Structure formats: structure tokens, C-alpha cells
Structure 1
Amino acid sequence: MSHPSLDPSVVRWSVSPAERGDRPVLVLLHGYGSDEHDLFGLVPYLPDSFVVASVRAPLAPPWPTPGASWYPIEGLDGRDPAAVTLAAQAVLAWVQDAVGSARVGLLGFSQGGAVALQTLRVDPDAVSFAVVLAGYAAGGELPGDAVLAQRRPPVFWGRGAADDVIPAPLVDLTSQWLPGHSELSGRVYPGLTHSISQDELDDVRAFLDARLADQVGAAVT
């Protein structure tokens, strides 16, 4: 089974190539039926120290759904973990080509959140942390899971209490899986549907500020 690669010509960057240097990179992964322009609107709410790259998923959803997708969805229960892994591998290939040795974190919404977490699972050495908004952990086991259980990298998981898009069994699976494989922080937001609120953005900002502090601490020691 193959998966199309990410198109570098449609990536939105927050700064020019000359300004990137060795700054940490935060890669944004949009949701189903969206594109690289969607989450780029979050840039003003994110720490300036990150170089932000918003990429476009490589698949097209069935007509008439607009935008792009990371993997097919056949009904609410049709999320194939193998397809999520293929999407994660495509993200990793793009990161290797476009980012190089800079420290990388991922922020994904919905389907993009699932891919962000799967990317961390596929290659724990390539991703420092993940922000999963209205997303989930795909089922199955991956070789990187044992590494994550030992290292426990930082993961933020935020979701709305009124979100009826992600099936309850996947929410339950994620609730069980993340505590044993990450340094988990996050919140369930009362009244929030399948979307992002200002309270959640504030929490994400605090999480990202802490990751920058971690990097400074590691450089000092």
C-alpha cells in the first residue's frame, strides 16, 4: 500500500527561509476536508519562537467534500490504523526533507491530530512533542510504542465535551493509551463541539511555552 507524498509547494511558513535558522519548528496538520490555510490562522496565538509550517494533506476526499484528507474515512467507524500510519510516514518524509535537524513538534486538529500522534509513534526520535486537538490515538501496536512508554514525551490532548464527531470507542482508547505512553496534559472543554476554543488556545500556548523552556533547560545542562 502506497501513500502520496506531501507537496512542498503548498506549505505555508510563518517566516522566510532566511529567518528559520535552527529555531524549533511546529508543523500544523489540518483536519478532514480542510487545507494548509485553515490552522495557519492559529499562528498569532502561538509562541513567536517557533517557526510554523502548515502543510496540506496529500489525498482528496470523495466529491463533494472540499479540501484534502490524510486518510480515507468510510463512515464514522471506518478509520483504518494502517492508513493513519501511511499518512504519518508521509509527514516524516516531508519533515526529513524540509526541516532537517531542527527540533520538531506537531499540532494537529481532528484527523490531523490522529496523524500527529501516529507520527510520534512511528518515529519517536523525529518528533519531540505533539498537540492533539479533537483527535485520537489509532489502534494497534507500533514499534515506537515501547520507546514512548519509556521516554514519555510531552503530549497535549484537548477535546470538547460536546464533540460527537470522534467515536466514543476511540476517545476511550486514547484515554487509556496516552497516560502510559506520554507525559500527558490536556483538558476536556465543557460545551465545546468539534472545534477549538479560546480557552483551549490558551492552554496550547502554555504547553508550547513549556516546551520552549524545556529546550532552554536542555541547552544549559
Structure 2
Amino acid sequence: MTAPEVGVEDFTHVFEPATASGAPALLLLHGTGADEHDLLPLGRALAPGAALLSPRGKVTENGMNRWFRRLREGVFDVDDLIARTAELAAFVRAAILAYDLDPERIVVSGFSNGANTGAGLLLLHPGLVAGAALFAGGAPLQGREPDPVDLSGVQVFLGNGVADPITTIDQARLVAAQLGQRGADVEAREHPGGHQLTPDVLTQAREWFERAKF
């Protein structure tokens, strides 16, 4: 697939420069119905001092922002996901140049629809990000086996609820397996709740981020 021509102006977004010397950058991907401001507090909590790059999904569903289309509840339009993820990857590459980011120190973090998209970036665009902290997300390619890409050296944290009715725990475990089989170092944490990011999981994710030393 030919990479789309995308500049930073093609996505509505927020960029906050790093406030700590030598800090990495967090790419923040919101969930359905949210926008580019929603995950800024998560980014500050997860990696204090990091640069924050938070775009808005370009798909709308019943007036709600999303990253890719759904055919119905729980069923993704996988072709649209692939195309939209390629566009997002091109935006990230443009942002690296526009904001002078270290291309080897970008970490994606997302919730729900944003977590699915973050997993898509890992599986479809290996080498774009150094790691990922994804919450309430699952396997993005639904029924398609991802290509055998090399994710060696990529560090991933996954947080999911075992009672999640939207992203089932089976889908969460599937994406953990897909990433691990391709060489990623995956730390998966499960909580007893549903489609949410619990304080305990956020604490675990922040501790993981500190250990990862991006």
C-alpha cells in the first residue's frame, strides 16, 4: 500500500512539548465519542514530563469521533481500519519532523477504539513506535491473521477487564498473543471490572513505563 501524503495539519490535534529533558513522546488515541483533549490527563499521569501528541479520529458515528468505521456494534470494518491506520502512521511521521521528536522514543497509548488503533499501528506499521500502553482494547484485525512482522524490542502494556462486554477478554488475550508471537515484550494485566481503566491498572501501567525506560 502506498503511504498517504499527510501533514500535521490534516488531523485536528494537540501537541504539548516535553517538560523533562530527554523525555519520550506519547501518542494518545482517544476512545469512541471523545476527542483530542480526553487522554491528556492520562498521558501526564502515565509519563510525567513526556511530550504529548493527541490527534482526533477522523471518522464520525452518530456524531461521535472514532478512528475507523464499524459495520455494527463489535464488528470492525477491517479494510477501513487498515486505511485509517496508514493515514495515522503518516501523520505520526509528519509530526516527528514538525515537532522534532525522537522517532525511536514514541510510545502509543489508547483507550477502547484508540487501543484497537494503537494495536493496529504495532501490527501494521512495525518500527513506528517503541512501545504501547493500551487499555480496554483487543485484536484489531478481527478474523485476519496479522503478517509475521518483527516486533522484537517493542514493549507493550495491556490493561483489560475480565467482565468487559464491549472488548471481551478473549479478544484482549488474542491481541496479547499476536503481539507476543511477533517478538514484543508484553505485560498484560487484567482487572475484575468492565470497559474501564481502573486506578490499580493505571498505577501498574505507570510502574511499567518507568521500568521500560523509553
For each residue in 1:36-90, what CA deviation from the matched residue of structure 2 results, as whole angstroms up to 9, or x when unmatched?
11111223412223111111011111x2x43x11111222342133322222212
Q: Please name the residue that 2:114 is paired with.
A: 112
Q: Counterparts in 2 of 1:11-50, with a 5 A limit?
A: 11-15=13-17, 23-50=23-50
Instruction: Measure, in 1, the Cα distance between the counterparts of 2:50 and 2:84.
Output: 23
CA contact (8 A) 1:4 1:59 kept: no
Aligned-pair Cα RMSD in Å:
2.8
- Structure 1 residue 152, shift from structure 2 partner: 5.0
SS in 2 for 1:37: coil
- Structure 1 residue 7, shift from structure 2 partner: 4.9
Q: Please name the residue that 2:164 is paired with.
A: 163
2:126 to 116, 124, 127: 124
AA aligned to 2:186 is L
AA aligned to 2:195 is H
TM-score, structure 1 normalization? 0.80
Q: Please name the residue that 2:76 is paired with.
A: 79
Question: Structure 1 residues 199 and 172, CA, compared in 2 at 3 Å: closer, same or farther?
Answer: closer
SS in 2 for 1:99: helix
Higher strand share: 2
Instruction: Measure, in 2, the Cα distance between the counterparts of 1:41 and 1:8.
Output: 24
AA aligned to 2:83 is L
AA aligned to 2:47 is P
SS in 1 for 2:178: helix
Please list every run of 5 or more consecutive structure 1 residues that lacks an aligned counterpart in the other structure.
216-221
Q: Counterparts in 2 of 1:57-96, with a 5 A limit?
A: 57-61=57-61, 63=62, 65-66=63-64, 68-96=65-93
Instruction: Measure, in 1, the Cα distance between the counterparts of 2:9 and 2:23.
Output: 22
SS in 2 for 1:42: helix
Residue 49 (structure 2) pairs with residue 52 (structure 1): no
TM-score, structure 2 normalization? 0.82
AA aligned to 1:202 is T
Instruction: Measure, in 1, the Cα distance between the counterparts of 2:157 and 2:174.
Output: 16
Give the % identical residues.
25
SS in 2 for 1:146: coil
Instruction: Measure, in 1, the Cα distance between the counterparts of 2:159 and 2:201.
Output: 7
SS in 1 for 2:129: coil
Instruction: Measure, in 2, the Cα distance between the counterparts of 1:97 and 1:4.
Output: 9
Q: Please name the residue that 1:219 is paired with.
A: none
SS in 2 for 1:60: strand
